[in-house]
Chain A
């Protein structure tokens, strides 16, 4: 009996609540979100959408109608920012910029992939590069540079430690460090809650 309830009863009804997400867009000067008529040109253009579950139009529709589950959906991270939707939207909505803003809001709520978090917090924050060549693990890349007659480290932040500090100062001042720390806290909290739920289920 209870199996059928789990299987068939789905009380998913749209209650039409005001969208907090939409308000964030409006506050950021992206009120164009509201001009969307759902024509589908964006999804139709999307190279990701035709091989994944990502739906450009639906993601923005969910943002507009306040469906917060869009923030924790991995699909919004499968947009390759090819910009075709941005170029073809008949309402002249900068669609790609909207998806980027949606990503920003997701990160504020602590929804960020582990791989992305590590990239931002450990690699980018610590070295100033997204793809670094310093450290033991990257010796072969430095050797590769030398084989082409280039200095082992490029004249970037890799050769100017004070430049790394400058970047870190900026990232602190602009709130990036705090954003990442907050995201980590929220992620950890969620992980603990999930594990608890798993244990309870198994306990049953």
Chain B
């Protein structure tokens, strides 16, 4: 559809000529109410000059009907009575625009979601509600005035929070497209949780082998500014123009001077639990997270450092790289888009006392098992059990620990990866110890991805892994710290009691413990399950409801590596669409100050949740930053002088709607 040359001029004085289009929406609306009667009803309302009905107003034909009426000069206001404006408001607005009518002279009456869909068995009731909605739309349409969208430019740069496999992939794609990327990671190294994995299913690729090339790519990419051991502490602004403050945490080691010799680590007297090794091994207060860390930087963990001064001695640190007086640095950057790729935390099974985690030494999580299996882990890939450091002859895995749990403190969702990672770990152990007995206790085996079912079949047929359908009820340990398991083999309808050397809990994935910090920093919502909420679960999986901010990876919900990478690339693509366009339209719902009425009390400024109101010291009146304003209406209702007007939702428009809603207007034209 090409845009019309002729632009229809509409002012406050122009008489409204409203066209009402009632959509059948197939049987969604027409199957419940009489759309023809609604059309006639619409025609009887003030200032309505024509009314039509059509099967699918959103179709090309439907849209054409409106376009033709506008171009013929018959109407200067358009109402479509159909679905929710969240579905097709943009569609019909575009039609108006292309026909030469200002797109904000359009109003949509929702007679589907708000009338027929919720009253499917009450035709009469649905009809009355539909009438109400059409009447209210007419009331507003009569008072609508033309508005212009704002165009703001979009900075060609992106902030990516989190440098795991998702963040890194988004960063590389965007950087290659030519955009500047700030990749912020709060631990000292990139790689995320994937660096802690040994092998990946179903290919049994070594995780470090497939991720380290990506890590090196990230380090090499000129367009990526890598900010490890850093955190985002403030975000202001709006889509295309985010002002971000990043805190670079002090390493207490001069990275320029440091040669990476590692002598400091050997000499450090302080040992603490190693987070990377999930508590299975120690690290010193001065440390590098793991050998292949990128960047290969040493850091002092000041919380545990006793400042003994040994590492700073010239015979220990020859290049003299230790800096106890290091301070955090703050960096302010301006970016056009943001991608949240903050990943996940493992579920902590300590509260599930029936499984003995934290009480019996030979109960570990699968994540810890992963480190035991890892060739650069604490036991160099030869798993042993904690109580006697001997290789277990028998291992039992329990699936769905912390997941699919509707109890208080449990997560209702399925964590998606555990069936496969348990099968993988079981297979790895069987490869190392073919004579061992490995059991997987499950409720369901979810092997949904490519190659997954085949992997599962092979685990049982070729590797002899025992799959027992029954969720373990309780365990305890015997005199030798073996774990005695009680469950029901539901397929045999028999209770079983099984003794194993090692018990592995297949824990689920959870949203990061401090996800709420990111949530409030960026004003993005989280779903009930704690993960960041996508704009639409089916159609907008990488967008958030905040323009310009995207999500990728497990931050949006549990998923495996293929899906994570796909989503990361999707988020990069969505971000680059915005940045490639170079500018973005912002809806003109902002509020406007009526200068002559403003008394300068600043109530509005103190209440604005988006910091969109400034104060003009000379004129002593409030000023709205229209790009920051999200049109929430708080200032309008708070202003004691009535000096705030909100575009597209003025008092006059709203009062008109209310009046028409509660009383029937006179049928003849001209009623006001």
Contact = CB atoms under 8 A, between A and B. Distances in A.
Physical contact A–B (CB less than 8 Å):
yes
Contacts of A40: 469-471, 473, 487-490
Interface of A: 35, 37-46, 49-50, 55, 57-58, 84, 88-92
A38 B470 CA distance: 8
A44 B487 contact: yes
16 contacts: A37-B444, A40-B469, A40-B471, A40-B490, A44-B474, A44-B488, A44-B495, A46-B495, A55-B488, A57-B493, A88-B354, A88-B473, A89-B407, A90-B400, A90-B405, A91-B406
Contacts of A45: 473-474, 486
B472 interface: yes
A90 B401 CA distance: 10
Contacts of B497: 50
A90 B493 CA distance: 19
A90 B354 contact: no
Most chain A CB within 10 A, of B406, B471, B487, is at: B471
B378 interface: no
Contacts of B202: none
A32 B469 CA distance: 22
A80 to B, nearest CB: 15
Contact of B410 (A39, A43, A58, A90): A90
B400 A44 contact: no
Given A50-B495, A55-B488, A57-B488, A44 B470 contact: yes
Secondary structure of the A contact surface, majority rule:
loop
A84 B473 CA distance: 9
B406 A44 contact: no
Most chain B CB within 10 A, of A39, A55, A88, is at: A39
Secondary structure of the B contact surface, majority rule:
loop
A89 B486 CA distance: 14
B interface, how many residues as a size bin? 20 to 34
Given A37-B443, A39-B471, A40-B471, A49 B490 contact: no
B405 A55 contact: no
Given A58-B493, A88-B354, A88-B473, A43 B406 contact: no
A41 B471 CA distance: 5
Contacts of B407: 89-90, 92
B357 to A, nearest CB: 15
Contacts of B559: none
Nearest to B443: A39
Most chain A CB within 10 A, of B400, B405, B444, B495, is at: B495
Q: A-B pairs with the 10 shortest C-beta distances?
A: A44-B473, A40-B488, A43-B488, A45-B473, A40-B470, A39-B471, A40-B490, A44-B487, A92-B406, A39-B443
Given A44-B471, A44-B487, A49-B488, 11 more contacts: A35-B406, A39-B471, A39-B490, A40-B471, A41-B472, A44-B472, A50-B495, A89-B407, A90-B405, A90-B443, A91-B406
Contacts of A58: 493
B404 interface: yes
Nearest to B442: A39
A44 B493 contact: no
Nearest to B410: A90
Most chain B CB within 10 A, of A40, A43, A46, is at: A40
A55 B496 CA distance: 12
Most chain B CB within 10 A, of A35, A42, A84, A88, is at: A88
Contacts of B486: 44-45, 50
Interface string B221-262: 000000000000000000000000000000000000000000
A110 to B, nearest CB: 27
A49 B495 contact: yes
A43 B474 CA distance: 11
Given A43-B495, A50-B497, A55-B493, A90 B488 contact: no
Contacts of A49: 488, 495
Interface string B495-508: 10100000000000
Contacts of A89: 407
A46 B487 CA distance: 9
A91 to B, nearest CB: 5
A44 B490 CA distance: 9
Nearest to B497: A50
Contacts of A43: 470, 473, 488, 490, 495
Nearest to B402: A90
A27 B497 CA distance: 37
Contacts of A90: 400, 404-407, 410, 443, 471
Interface in B445-482: 469-474
Given A44-B495, A49-B495, A38 B490 contact: yes
Contacts of B471: 39-41, 44, 90
Interface in B399-453: 400, 404-407, 410, 443-444
A49 B493 CA distance: 10
A90 B405 CA distance: 5
Interface string B110-127: 000000000000000000
Given A44-B488, A58-B493, A39 B470 contact: yes
A180 B407 CA distance: 37
A45 B495 CA distance: 9
A84 B474 CA distance: 10
Nearest to A53: B493
Nearest to A51: B495
Interface string B554-571: 000000000000000000
Contacts of B443: 37, 39, 90
A42 B490 CA distance: 11
A84 B486 CA distance: 13
A92 B406 CA distance: 6
Nearest to A50: B495
A122 to B, nearest CB: 36
A37 B469 CA distance: 11
B254 to A, nearest CB: 52
A158 B404 CA distance: 51
A43 B497 CA distance: 12
A58 B488 CA distance: 11
A45 B444 CA distance: 19
A106 to B, nearest CB: 20
A55 B407 CA distance: 22
Nearest to A38: B490
A176 to B, nearest CB: 34
Interface in B265-300: none
A15 to B, nearest CB: 20
Contacts of B470: 39-40, 43-44
A142 B473 CA distance: 45
Contacts of A38: 490
A31 to B, nearest CB: 14
Contacts of A91: 406
A46 to B, nearest CB: 7
A27 B294 CA distance: 62
A90 B470 CA distance: 12
Contacts of B444: 37
Contacts of B473: 40-46, 84, 88
Contacts of A44: 470-474, 486-488, 495
A42 B488 CA distance: 8
Nearest to A35: B406
Contacts of B490: 38-40, 43, 57
Contacts of B410: 90
A89 to B, nearest CB: 8
A189 to B, nearest CB: 32
B14 to A, nearest CB: 59
Most chain B CB within 10 A, of A35, A38, A42, A44, is at: A44
Contacts of B400: 90
B471 to A, nearest CB: 4
B72 to A, nearest CB: 58
A93 to B, nearest CB: 9
